[in-house]
Every structure is written in C-alpha cells, then in structure tokens.
Amino acid sequence: MSSMKSILAATDLSAPSRHAADRAALLARANGGKLTLAHALGDTALDDLRRFVGDGEPTKAVVKGDARDRLHAIAVRLGQRHEMTVAEHLSIGNPVQELARVAEQIDADLLVTGTRGAGFFRGVVTGSTAERVARRSARPVLMVRQVAHEAYQRVLIPVDFSAWTAPSIELAQRVAPGADLVLLHAVQIPFESRLRLAGVTESQLAAFRGTAINEAQQRLDEVAAAAGLSERWVGLVSSDGADPWMQIVRQELEQDCDLIVIGKHGRNVLEELLLGSTTRIVIAEGSADVLVSTHSAT
C-alpha cells in the first residue's frame, strides 16, 4: 500500500481554511511526504484583496504581492506549528481549474480543501468550490470540516458493491491507516412504493428486505476478505428505508466517525463530470470530514 508522498492543501487565505491546512500537514508528517500550500487568485479573491490594498493602486502587481505575502505568512506559521517545510504555490485564474492543474503538476496523491470560507456568506461559495474541485479533480479530494487534533480514528465507508468499493477502502487505509473502518451498505428495496401500490403486503416486503440484508452482510464479509481486513473493521447493514444519503449521515453520527470515504460515482464519460447525488448530499449534510475517491477499479 503506497503512502502519500505529495499533498496539496488549498487555501483561500481565510482563518477557516487553516483547518484544512493543519489536516494536510498532519497527513504529510505521518507519511513523510511533501506539503504544498496553494492559493489561486480568482475574481472574487482579487475583489477581496482590493479592499486590503485600497482603491488607490489596484494594480495586478500590488494584489499579487499582497496575496504572496499572506500565503507565505500562513505557510511559515503552518511549518512552525508542525515542524516541517511547507512549499508555496500562488497562481492567477479560475481557482477550481488552477487547483486541479497544480495537483497534476506536483503529482499530488491528495488534494485537501476546506468547506467554509471567510464570513457567513462565503461559506456557501467555498463549499460549492470544494465540490467543484472534487468533480473536476483526477486526484482524491479531502474536504475538511473539523479541527485537526489527531489522526482519524473511525472511518465510515459507504459500500454499494460497485467498482468504487475496493478503491475507497484502499484510500481509507492510506489516509487513516490506524483507524477503525465501518463498512456500511444501505439496503433499499427497488420500486418499494410501486410494489405497495401493486398490492405487495408489508410482510412480503419485510421478507424481501430480510433477504437483502442477509445477502448484503455476506457480501460485506467478502469485500472485507478481498481487501485483507482481518480486524478493526465493522460490517454494518442499514435497512430503515430512508434515502442512502440519510442513512450514511445518520450512521456517521451513531458510529462516531470523523471521516467518510465515498466514491465519486461516475459511470461514464459524461457522469465523470458530475458527483453522484448521494455523494453531493453527504458532502452538504454530514458533519465529518469527507474524502472523495476519484478512481474506480476498471
């Protein structure tokens, strides 16, 4: 299992984005890897920086110099706090495109970003930017919500038995090698509401659900065996009939997980440009950090 030798942390130079930088630093130190802190000057960032430098000389050089100084100050403090060297990268352009480009340029094993920006309304903008980064990036993307005090302790991995399952487990082991893993399959009866309308009884639906639960538990055991999980894992089948995203968020809380690892869930070239609906809602509604696996097995 390869470790993470190159990690890219995105920052919008705000205080909340430091949580992501701290998590990236912890991961880089644990893996003996290189950490790069990147900031992309987009239109919104330039507007923000003009407020700091004033309207007298809103030149590109002044704005870029201000951003470079602030990025350097953050990198220095981050390096001192974690006793490591932090590389810096400043670019100008669309933040989503620039972060994806830099990640490719430095061959990043992981791209780390926050989910909130500076100010109440900026949180919405930054959150959607993080989602767009995950949608575009060919690299795994870790979205950090929580303050990074320690290594991840308990990781929830939603399992749908698709090609994303094995890569998600492997990624979880790379990012959180010492954590307990909770493999979750959310059981749903296909066309359940239509079956009821067609006259299928509740006892029959319960029998269908019981069969699905037994099959899912067996398949979870098989998945764990194929991944070489001999201990520190739990197979959990949820069958309350709620939407999968709701079952995932609920189990994240009940299982006290601090990280969710979930697949991007694209199934063809067009869908690779999007995030699956379950993944998008988990990103929006969950309280744990979310790691989006961007590669499925072929």
Tens of pLDDT, residue by residue over 99-117, are 989 999 999 999 999 886 5
Mean pLDDT, rounded, for 41-67: 65
Q: How confident is the model at residue 14 (pLDDT cuts 50, 70, 90)?
A: confident
CA–CA separation, 298 and 277 (whole Å): 22
Question: Do the Cβ atoms of 36 and 87 come closer than 8 Å?
Answer: yes
What is the DSSP-derived secondary structure letter of residue 11? -
pLDDT the model gives residue 123: 37
DSSP 260-293: EEEE----STTGGGS--HHHHHHHHH-SSEEEEE
Mean pLDDT, rounded, for 87-106: 91
The domain segmentation of the chain, as residue ranges, is: 6-144, 154-293
Nearest Cα to Cα of residue 262 among 229, 284, 290, 289: 290
CA–CA separation, 286 and 154 (whole Å): 15
Asked whether residue 298 carries a pLDDT value surpassing 70, the answer given is no
Of residues 59 and 25, the one with the higher pLDDT is 25
Same fold, 6-144 and 154-293: yes
Structure tokens at 18: 């430091």
pTM of structure? 0.84
Q: How confident is the model at residue 121 (pLDDT cuts 50, 70, 90)?
A: very low
CA–CA separation, 7 and 25 (whole Å): 8
200-244 pLDDT per residue, tens: 777 877 777 788 888 989 999 999 999 999 888 999 887 777 788
pLDDT the model gives residue 273: 44
Question: Do the Cβ atoms of 95 and 129 come closer than 8 Å?
Answer: yes
154-165 pLDDT per residue, tens: 999 999 888 889
According to the CATH classification, is domain 154-293 in 3.40.50.620? yes
Asked whether residue 132 carries a pLDDT value surpassing 90, the answer given is no
Least confident segment among 19-33, 69-83, 132-146, 201-215 = 201-215
Top-ranked range on mean pLDDT: pick from 18-32, 235-249, 266-280: 18-32
Q: Which CATH architecture has domain 6-144?
A: 3-Layer(aba) Sandwich (3.40)
Give how far Cα 270 sits from Cα of 141, 153, 265, 274, 293, Å: 20, 36, 12, 8, 17
The SS3 call for residue 89 is: strand
The SS3 call for residue 133 is: helix
Nearest Cα to Cα of residue 95 among 14, 24, 47, 38: 38
pLDDT the model gives residue 32: 92
CA–CA separation, 283 and 248 (whole Å): 11
CA–CA separation, 70 and 23 (whole Å): 20
185-205 pLDDT per residue, tens: 987 766 666 666 677 777 877
pLDDT the model gives residue 84: 96
CA 220-221-224 angle, to 5 degrees, is 85
Asked whether residue 124 carries a pLDDT value surpassing 50, the answer given is no
pLDDT the model gives residue 272: 42
Q: How confident is the model at residue 118 (pLDDT cuts 50, 70, 90)?
A: very low
CA–CA separation, 78 and 92 (whole Å): 23
Phi and psi angles of residue 158, each rounded to the nearest 5 degrees, phi first = -65, 130
Please count the residues of the chain: 298
